Structure 1
């Protein structure tokens, strides 16, 4: 549900921005990024007590890599739910705005975009687990919302940073869409970024000896 609503926010606000500000891509991006940043912060606050607000497969995998005690079956179930939710969120946004559900034709996979995805995903992982490992998990919602809102602008890819959201955005041929041929390189870049983020977390925020024992 969390991932689905997140994709609905991203795609829905993208459609609204495209219709309300035709021809002004900068204003469209501002509207889309503002709605996404605020919506994501709210969704994390809602779902953090339910599922840890795991809307993102790379966050789930990073959590397990960094020591969370969850089984392989649990991880598979989470990732499946995230991907299904992401697709459902894209379809829901299309339906709300009367847009056809169709595969996106927006090509995004350039070298710069992929580097942007590595940076965005690494930064997201570093932010989340820096807060968790220093006892500031309550700040994850507003901090992640702020980071994603900023990363829309400082990364060339507009910071997808989430495989489930990327897959969900394949199913809308609107402002927020991504063509299938571009999505797969984005997924690979996100995995690279997640690995880099985990490495930075281990370097900068190692757990105390007592916590590791």
Structure 2
């Protein structure tokens, strides 16, 4: 899902962005109301807005009221404010849910799924761990290990290699098209650059497959895309 995160706390914003990306969501992060408006203009409306209230250039409640006049996407308020009257006012004003900081990531993800479900969109929990035939991949820990010489050996991947592998893990067993991979890993402006895929898939196979020229797990679907054996 396409998520717009409006949060002025840089550390929390970075943590949430990375966690949501691990779950497979496309995340844009704005640190102010003005930046959020600019991203909406440039990227279009998201599927869901995560909105902090205490922004440096205004109150999130004002931004919520402004956006509700023009957009119908789901909105979850994330705030340290916990007064009941304020919560009720925001929920009546167009928020789908209100989550008080600090909160657990699992609860946020569950509430996001509920908000999408209420709009007729299905969003199942993402696959974040893959273990099969001598491979262990943990997307949350950014860790890839292979069983070699009677021991687990960690394999170093570049950020792009890991992002490509993670996208295949989240759809293990399914074919992911060239365009989907290019858009999700490199960005929508790179959907015609299929040579990127050939290069990085070759690097992944060299690091992970026993016989890179005869891959058993990272498979090519000719003319379509790639598939990770489930």
Q: Shared topology, TM-score over 0.5?
A: no
TM-score (structure 2 length as normaliser): 0.25
Instruction: Identify the structure with the greater helix proportion.
Output: 1
Structure number with higher strand proportion: 2
Normalised by the length of structure 1, the TM-score is 0.27
